[in-house]
Amino acid sequence: MSPSVNALVLALATQALSVPTTSAPHQQTIQWRSYPDVEAELHAAFPGFNFPHPFECSSLSVPLGYTDPASEPLDLSLIKVNATKEPVLGSVLWNPGGPGGTGFENLAVQSEDLLKTLGGQYNIVSWDPRGMGKTIPFDCKFGQNGHQRRDVAALWSGNLTEYFLDNGWSQAKDYADTCYKAQNTTGRFIGTAFVARDMVEIIDALGEDGLLRYWGLSYGSQLGAIFMAMFPDRVERVLIDAVVNPHDYQIGHWGNYLVDADKTLLAFLEECAKNKERCALAQFINQTTAVDLLSTINAVLEPLGQDATTNIKARTAYVEAKAAIFSGLYFPIT
Ligand SMILES: *[C@@H]1O[C@H](CO)[C@@H](O)[C@H](O)[C@H]1NC(C)=O
Ligand SMILES: *[C@@H]1O[C@H](CO)[C@@H](O)[C@H](O)[C@H]1NC(C)=O
Ligand SMILES: *[C@@H]1O[C@H](CO)[C@@H](O)[C@H](O)[C@H]1NC(C)=O
Ligand SMILES: *[C@@H]1O[C@H](CO)[C@@H](O)[C@H](O)[C@H]1NC(C)=O
């Protein structure tokens, strides 16, 4: 989504204190401890990185399929960093978004910022939601299932628009079929509604009040919203951050992410023009208004865009230049 709509929405569900929390007789309680092999794995994944806070892990067994009473179990790997201030007010479940973001690794890496942002009095707990990382990673095993790679020579030798009009649909079908085959035993258990059910299992097993405290970014805002819709009486407090448009997300379009991109670019160029001594771009092209800066950028991009459907070099340059601009708008460095 556009960073200009990086809104912070706080949803408070009122919860009568007298509501008893039901607990299943077989309820598990999470036993946290340090796992040297998991720590070694994380250190290997982030060589030289100094993890800011110690973390502990645990494994929780949940049903692979919630709609099947005889379902096989699924082990969720959980990670937790302790609150740094007394009194401890409970645990917050955290999801970094994606939807392919690993909560497990991200919590270990970002614990300092997360703890501080929440004020230090909450433990933070995370996990890899179904479909990624340690939990049924969604691996389509391309190359092993008869999946055909695109013919690169054909891709670049003709008119790309025509190439995609002629081949795009069949290639997308091939891609989907390959993923379906590779995931044919577990694919149907991957989805946000089951992730929300996993969260119920987690908050029950935390042995606190059985209510959700949650912070989710981006896809995590979708997850938080779905949890609240499914289990409104299980919510203590939910923070949805960097909010996605749920309709746009659900239909797989993600076009809303670009709605304000041009405005954001123009706002950046306005700041750039005002602070020329701190803006390398304005100095480089020696322009003093946002509109002049924008027309200079467009004057470079337009001819590349025109050639991009038929010329591989122009296309690569065009796509890279636009990706660099988009990435700057999506992840602004302050
Ligand atoms: C986290 O807090 C719990 C409960 O106070 C304590 O038993 C545990 O040792 C702490 N873990 C770490 C890594 O400090
Ligand atoms: C490429 O094909 C499209 C669709 O047929 C056509 O509109 C476009 O003009 C072609 N581009 C070039 C540069 O020939
Ligand atoms: C999954 O795919 C394998 C290999 O193609 C096949 O043997 C198996 O029967 C499939 N399982 C299901 C549940 O469709
Ligand atoms: C930039 O523009 C200003 C005003 O038009 C001019 O005085 C200056 O010489 C230009 N600088 C360069 C490096 O071209």
Query: Could you read off the pLDDT of 260-293 as tens digits, one per residue?
Result: 889 999 999 999 999 988 988 888 877 778 999 9
Tens of pLDDT, residue by residue over 38-87, are: 999 999 999 999 999 999 999 999 999 999 999 999 999 999 999 999 99
Which ligand lies nearest to the CA atom of residue 177 in the structure?
3
Residue indicated by tokens 């008869």: 146
Give how many domains the chain has, as a whole number. 3
What confidence category does residue 148 fall into, taking pLDDT thresholds of 50, 70 and 90? low
Say whether both 20 and 124 belong to one domain: yes
Evaluate: CB of 207 within 6 angstroms of ligand 1: no
Domain boundary among 202, 224, 250: 250
CATH at residue 82: 3.40.50
Q: Does the structure show a pLDDT above 60 at 2?
A: no
131 and 159 inside one domain: no
Ligand 1 geometric centre to CA of 283 (Å): 53
Per the domain annotation, does 146 fall within a domain?
no
Q: Could you tell me the pLDDT band of residue 26, with boundaries at 50, 70 and 90? A: low
Tell me the three state secondary structure of residue 333. Answer: coil
Residue 285, domain extent: 260-330
Given a cut of 70, whether residue 14 has pLDDT beyond it is no
Distance from C-alpha of 60 to C-alpha of 77, rounded to nearest angstrom: 7
Residue nearest to atom 5 of ligand 3 (CA): 181
Out of 217, 250, 283, a domain closes at 250
Examine the domain organization and report whether 234 and 308 are in the same domain.
Answer: no
What local confidence, expressed as pLDDT, does residue 214 receive?
98
Structure tokens at 242: 């960097």
Whether residue 17 has pLDDT greater than 50: no
Residue 5: what pLDDT? 30
Kindly give the distance from the C-alpha atom of residue 187 to the centroid of ligand 3, in angstroms, as a whole number.
12
Residue 82 beta carbon below 6 angstroms from any ligand 1 atom: yes
Q: How far apart are CA 272 and CA 114, in angstroms?
A: 31
User: What dihedral do alpha carbons 286, 292, 298, 303 form, nearest 10°?
Assistant: -70
Average pLDDT over residues 231-242: 96
Residue at 265: amino acid letter: L
What is the structure's pLDDT at 1? Answer: 37
Q: Is 311 in the pocket of ligand 2 (CB under 6 A)?
A: no
Tell whether the torsion through CA atoms of 47, 52, 56 and 59 is positive or negative.
negative
Establish if 224 belongs to a structural domain: yes
Which of 82, 123, 206, 208 has the most ligand 1 atoms within 8 A of CB, as the residue to mutate?
82
Distance 326 CA to ligand 4 centre (A): 29
Q: What are the structure tokens assigned to 154, written together?
A: 């054909």
Per-residue pLDDT, 313: 80
Same domain, 102 and 212: yes
Distances (CA, A) of 202 to 37, 104, 105, 162, 295: 23, 14, 18, 50, 53
Q: Identity (one letter) of the amino acid at 151?
A: D
The CA distance from 107 to 89, in Å, is 19
Choice among 116-120, 150-154, 159-163, 186-190 with the minimum mean pLDDT: 150-154
The confidence score (pLDDT) of residue 187 equals 92
Q: For ligand 1, what atom is nearest to the CA of residue 53?
A: 13
- Whether 142 maps to a domain, the answer reads no
Q: With both helix axes pointing from N to C terminus, report the angle between 36-45 and 103-117 in degrees, rounded to the nearest 10.
A: 90
**pLDDT of residue 27 exceeding 80:** no
Q: What own/partner pairs with CB < 8 Å and gap ≥ 24 does 255-264 have?
A: 256/1, 257/1, 257/2, 257/330, 258/2, 259/2, 260/2, 260/4, 260/5, 261/2, 261/326, 261/329, 263/4, 264/2, 264/3, 264/4, 264/329
295 lines ligand 2 (CB under 6 A): no
Nearest ligand by distance to the CA of 159: 2
The 10s digit of each residue's pLDDT in 302-324 is: 988 888 877 778 888 888 999 99
Report the share of the chain in percent with pLDDT over 90: 55
- Res. 147: pLDDT tops 60: no
For a mutational test of ligand 2's pocket, the pick from 155, 156, 157, 162, i.e. the residue with the most ligand atoms closer than 8 A to its C-beta, is 162
SS3 label, residue 273: helix
- My answer on whether 96 and 221 are in the same domain is yes
Average pLDDT over residues 189-209: 96
H or E stretch including 90?
strand 90-95
Mean pLDDT of the chain: 85
